Amino acid sequence: MRILVIGSGGREHALVWKLKQSPLVDKIFAAPGNGGTKREGAINAMTPADDLDGLVSLARREKIDLVVPGPELPLTLGIIDRLRQAGIAAFGPDAYCAQLEGSKAFAKSIMAKAGVPTAKYAVFNDVEAAKNHIVKFGAPVVVKADGLAAGKGVIAAKDSREALQAVEDIMAARAFGAAGDKVILEEFLQGEEVSLLCFCDGEHAVPLPSAQDHKAAYDNDQGPNTGGMGAYSPAPMLRATDAGKMVDMTVRPVLKELAASGHPFTGVIYAGLMLTSDGPRVLEYNTRFGDPECQPLLMRLGGDLAQIMLDCINGGLDPVNIQWSKQTALGIVLAAKGYPHACAKGQVIKGIEDAENIPGVKVFHSGTAVKDNVLVSSGGRVLCVTALGDDLAKAQSTAYTALEKIQMKNSFYRRDIGNKGIRRLAAALE
Ligand code: AMP
Ligand code: GLY
């Protein structure tokens, strides 16, 4: 089989790495890919992830059998619909279903119809009405741009002044462009966050093991929200039995609702949950693998990813074909100084081979490129150093040992990835 992976992050490197292990797969293309996809032997095409015409003609030209989009943008733009029209198999939801991620107002309305627990909210398409709501109900309040904003369109405002400023930035100054045409004001929830991902074949949902992301830029969850600074799986705060119940509460009703509207969901659905004292609440849906959660998750996947994806597309997804290692996997993101804001590119990266010589370690590339045969940084998140271990503490210490082998000027990483889980495991033993 010939496969095309769309995207250029650590998630896409991990997808290429895992798909390459499938006996069904002969050749992999990445569009546009990165230094890591190239090192796996994929052919990097220049086509950007949002160039639908270019992607469809690339898939036709290279006689691609299966297309796997990594990021949300091609999905919300309708790449799956376009590929289906062209008779090419593609793993992911159509544009209608991708609105679950592409429009928070759409997601909220589906949750309301499906009876899924979520924060109380109100949707506004008028600046003054949104501001009046804040003045009336006060803070804390969470202000969200309706559309895609690369993980930056959510502001948890501690006071009314901050909330009013967020509305001004999103709606009036259009900090995220058309994504801010509507704003959602949402009840501020407290609790621990957990990511719940499922493979879906339109009818069935098969949960992946639990994973925990680290969204804040700095240690102890300080600093601005990022795409994610590290992740591990399994996450001790979510027991497998609870995960099953949560899928029943937060994923299956939504799949039923989408199927009833003529759009069965295929691909990966990702529910971002807050475990509050009143029970789980859905913060958001993504309609794809998370990055960096994908990297530790795929390190643990025992089955054939290409076959699982075909089963999602063709129906008849069978949990028997999806096995997971009992080990823990933990990934730490190495980012360029300044991320998630503007940061310098073109820094030389060394030491990856030394890191990967440590048993159980895999270094996934995010923003990397090969320039004159030298590996350099080309984005905010640069690498995700991922390790398997018999438990969380072992995976953590191996991943940090590996990370220390890597040199890149003007970079930083969080030093506490996994600590929360380790504390939780220790408390459970007391
Ligand atoms: P979202 O993109 O909706 O998942 O929001 C990004 C991040 O903002 C989440 O991972 C949470 O850390 C935080 N967040 C979102 N909604 C809420 C909420 N209602 N209460 C508290 N924090 C939230
Ligand atoms: N790590 C969170 C995301 O991919 O949206």
Report the C-alpha gap between 408 and 348 in whole angstroms: 6
Could you tell me the CATH superfamily of domain 126-181?
ATP-grasp fold, A domain (3.30.1490.20)
pLDDT tens readout for residues 197-208: 999 999 999 999
pLDDT by 10-residue block (mean), the chain, 430 residues: 97 98 98 95 97 98 98 98 98 98 95 96 94 93 91 88 95 92 95 90 94 93 92 85 88 97 97 92 96 97 96 92 95 97 94 98 95 93 98 98 98 97 84
Answer yes or no: is the C-beta of 202 below 6 A from any ligand 2 atom. no
The owner of tokens 């309301």 is 112
pLDDT tens readout for residues 213-223: 999 999 999 99
Integer Rg of the chain from CA: 21
pLDDT at 62: 98
pLDDT at 258: 97
DSSP alpha helices (H): ranges in 251-304?
A: 252-260, 294-300
271: number of Cβ within 10 Å:
24
pLDDT tens readout for residues 326-343: 999 999 999 999 999 999
- Nearest ligand atom owner, CA of 7: 2
Assigned CATH class of 2-90: alpha beta
Tell me the pTM: 0.94
Atom of ligand 1 nearest to the CA of 281: 19
Report the C-alpha gap between 254 and 335 in whole angstroms: 35
Report the C-alpha gap between 132 and 151 in whole angstroms: 26
Answer yes or no: is the C-beta of 228 below 6 A from any ligand 2 atom. yes
Q: Which phi and psi (to 5°) does residue 390 adopt?
A: -70, -25
Distance 154 CA to ligand 1 centre (A): 7
Report the C-alpha gap between 221 and 218 in whole angstroms: 6
* 333, 300 contact by CB (below 8 A): no
Of all residues in the chain, what percent carry a pLDDT higher than 70? 99
Q: Which phi and psi (to 5°) does residue 385 adopt?
A: -85, 115
pLDDT at 192: 83
Helix 252-260 vs helix 104-114: crossing angle, to nearest 10: 100
Paired tokens of 171: 């709606």
Choose which residue among 188, 283, 287 to substitute to test ligand 1 binding: the one with the highest number of ligand atoms within 8 A of its C-beta.
Answer: 283
Residue 122, beta-bridge partner list = 185
Distance 121 CA to ligand 1 centre (A): 13
- Which architecture, in CATH terms, is 192-429? 2-Layer Sandwich (3.30)
- Nearest ligand atom owner, CA of 384: 2
62 CB-contact burial (10 Å; exposed 0-12 / middle 13-18 / buried 19+) = middle
Report the C-alpha gap between 155 and 169 in whole angstroms: 11
* 408, 347 contact by CB (below 8 A): yes
**Looking at residue 170, what DSSP letter applies?**
I
For the chain, the structural domain boundaries read 2-90, 126-181, 192-429
